[in-house]
């Protein structure tokens, strides 16, 4: 049996109810965001320079256990800290090239009328609430029975209820298996309890997990052990194979959740 979910913007009585009157203009929100995010890189770099930290621009990769290459330069450190963060996981489904990443989502100047999020983590829920309040019709697909796995189950149940009351269509136990582009539409094919379904939308956002951004660091050549959840470290965040190398934040398999306060706590202190 095939279920077809029309998240079409064509007004119908029930769908009108699913769409909130916009509480703000999304372009205004983005302008406000840029007013405080855009000055940050320069301010940070100026701050680094003042404390004697040299900044190099470019992708870094290991050229030896404590040697790092950036562009034409090779830097030799007594110690090296890997703090490369994470990147969207490869969903390995046909049509994955049609996905919008969370970084791209945060650079949009306007939102389409219909947006579908694959994944039920905090990125999906945060963005879904913003998009719904900006007037988009929003769907979340999550393959497990309960979203937001890291968080308190009672609070998650309340959040899911409130999210649905807001008009956001939350489908649990629903796995996206393919994305197809058809003119201006994106069609997401799903599997839920053995049944196939389709969702039509205008944008599909990848919110289905992130992985440490360490694959292009040449760690194997440097002898630095890693696993899918990051650089393997001991309780002091020290590489288990190269003691002069440390890892912190989302790139480290330290057991901490991939959240900003954890990365700040683990990061080297400069003051
Ligand atoms: C959309 C989104 C929303 C989030 N919301 C929250 C939230 O509400 N609360 C919360 O606590 N956390 C949130 N997080 C998680 C939080 O952003 C991360 O946990 C935190 O930024 C991790 O810090 P980090 O220093 O480990 O890595 P990052 O902040 O990711 O920094 C890593 C940097 O290294 C760079 N880099 C990677 N590889 C290389 C290389 N080879 N050479 C040179 N540079 C490289 C990257 O480009 C990046 O600039 C969110 C994340 C996302 C994606």
Domains of the chain: 56-85+211-269 (3.50.50.60), 90-208 (3.50.50.60)
What's the pLDDT score for residue 3?
47
Q: How far apart are CA 40 and CA 170, in angstroms?
A: 35
What's the pLDDT score for residue 5?
56
What's the pLDDT score for residue 242?
98
Q: How far apart are CA 136 and CA 115, in angstroms?
A: 7
pLDDT beneath 70, residues of the chain? 1-19, 268-271
Q: How far apart are CA 135 and CA 20, in angstroms?
A: 5
Residues counted in the chain: 271
Ligand 1, atom 47: closest residue by C-alpha: 84
Conformational region of residue 194, where left means phi above 0, alpha means psi within -120 to 50, and beta covers everything else: left
In short, whether 260's Cβ falls inside 6 Å of ligand 1 is yes
Ligand 1, atom 1: closest residue by C-alpha: 102
Q: How far apart are CA 104 and CA 79, in angstroms?
A: 34
Tokens matching residue 162: 């409130």
C-beta of residue 157 within 8 angstroms of C-beta of residue 131: no
What's the pLDDT score for residue 22?
84
* Among candidate residues 178, 180, 175, the one with its CA nearest the CA of residue 195: 175
105 secondary structure, DSSP code: H
Ligand 1 atom with the shortest distance to the CA of 102? 1
Could you give the angle at which helices 153-165 and 122-133 cross, rounded to 10 degrees? 30
Q: Kindly report, residue by residue over 136-168, the tens digit of the pLDDT.
A: 999 999 999 999 998 999 999 999 999 999 999
Strands (E), the chain: 2-6, 60-64, 67-70, 73-76, 80-82, 86-88, 99-100, 114-118, 137-142, 169-172, 175-182, 185-192, 195-201, 203-206, 210-212, 226-227, 230-232, 245-247, 252-253
How far does residue 86's CA lie from ligand 1's centre (Å)? 6
Average pLDDT, the chain: 91
What's the pLDDT score for residue 23?
83
Tokens matching residue 141: 């697909």
What's the pLDDT score for residue 71?
94
* Among candidate residues 267, 224, 233, the one with its CA nearest the CA of residue 252: 233
Q: How far apart are CA 7 and CA 158, in angstroms?
A: 24
Q: Kindly report, residue by residue over 219-237, the tens digit of the pLDDT.
A: 999 999 999 999 999 999 9
What's the pLDDT score for residue 267?
86
Residue to probe by mutation, ligand 1, list 104, 250, 265, most atoms within 8 Å of CB: 250
How far does residue 23's CA lie from ligand 1's centre (Å)? 29
């Amino acid at each position: 049996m095939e279920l077809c979910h029309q998240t079409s913007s064509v007004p119908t009585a029930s769908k009108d109810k699913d769409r909130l009157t916009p509480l703000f203009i999304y372009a205004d929100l983005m302008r406000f965001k840029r007013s405080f995010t855009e000055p940050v890189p320069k301010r940070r770099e100026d701050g680094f320079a003042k404390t004697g930290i040299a900044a190099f621009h470019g992708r870094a990769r290991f050229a030896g256990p404590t040697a790092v290459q950036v562009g034409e330069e090779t830097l030799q450190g007594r110690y090296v800290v890997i703090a490369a963060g994470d990147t969207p996981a490869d969903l390995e489904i046909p049509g994955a090239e049609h996905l919008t990443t969370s970084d791209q989502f945060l650079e949009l100047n306007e939102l389409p009328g219909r947006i579908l999020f694959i994944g039920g983590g905090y990125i999906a829920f945060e963005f879904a609430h913003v998009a719904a309040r900006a007037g988009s019709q929003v769907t979340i697909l999550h393959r497990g029975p309960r979203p937001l796995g890291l968080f308190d189950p009672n609070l998650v149940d309340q959040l899911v209820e409130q999210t649905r009351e807001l008009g956001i269509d939350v489908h649990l136990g629903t796995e996206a298996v393919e994305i197809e582009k058809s003119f201006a539409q994106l069609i997401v094919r799903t599997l839920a309890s053995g049944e196939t379904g389709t969702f039509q939308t205008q944008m599909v956002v990848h919110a289905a997990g992130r992985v440490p951004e360490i694959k292009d660091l040449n760690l194997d050549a440097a002898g630095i052990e890693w696993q899918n959840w990051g650089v393997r470290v001991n309780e002091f965040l020290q590489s288990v194979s190269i003691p002069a190398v440390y890892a912190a934040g989302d790139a480290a398999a330290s057991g901490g959740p991939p959240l900003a306060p954890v990365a700040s706590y683990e990061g080297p202190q400069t003051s």
